[in-house]
Structure 1
Amino acid sequence: MQIATQQKQQAITIAEGRGQSTRLEQEGIAGGIAAVGKAEGEKIRAVGDATAQAYTKQALALGQAPLAVIEVMKRVSESKVKITPDVLVQGASGEGGSSNVLAAFIASLMAGTIKVVSGGSDKDKPAA
């Protein structure tokens, strides 16, 4: 009976030891995760501060309006926004008339930017 009690006590002691070991291991993992998170946050903050300082120095050197134009053009370039027309047709005097509209239409057809869809009347279609 005393042996059974000692074995139970020993099992309890072993279980408590394993529990403490697991707790310490998990605390170590949590500490590592916290350290990595803090380091990443500091990195992001440092990059943001450096970017802000660079923009401030550029604004002082160029002026705010020219810097804004440069930044807008960078964004337009990166996003591949089309800012020039594919076809520009002007008359000799620079005025646009009905002949210029026709010329622009023909130039667009030739450039392939307009597709012609031929559609007949319902009379031309065979009955299903």
Structure 2
Amino acid sequence: MTNEFNKEECIKNVGKWLGNEDLEELPHYDTINDFLARVNPAELERIRIDMIKKLFKKRCFDSYRINGEYWGIAIDGTGIFTFDKKHCEHCLKRERKYIDKETGEEKTKTIYMHHVLEAKLIVGNMVLSVTLRVY
């Protein structure tokens, strides 16, 4: 990821976004992840929403409307975490039956998990996350 994003155009765009026009390179993605782990998720959500609103207001995506009228929206759902034990009240639960190879007995394995459902706006060869819901 670091090499893909450490290109002149991306560095220039991130520099503008951060108000640092002299930015020469991007931090390593581990450094970015460490920083983001400390940021309130609600603040990141607000930034994402503000960015999308500004892009719509500037009509940046109008040429990508379907038949000049409709927006292409993709719905994407996936699992993001799994646990052997329930760790919070929001955990989803899946039970799976299997045959124990040693004893031949039927047993049940319980997995706790979280999933995410996300709506994405399709604009050319890009998709932008419009909203998401974690389950």
Pair in the same fold by TM > 0.5: no
Question: Which structure dedicates a bigger proportion of its chain to helix?
Answer: 1
Q: TM-score, normalised by structure 1?
A: 0.20
Mark the structure with the bigger radius of gyration: 1
Quick check: which one's strand share is greater?
Answer: 2
TM-score (norm 2): 0.19
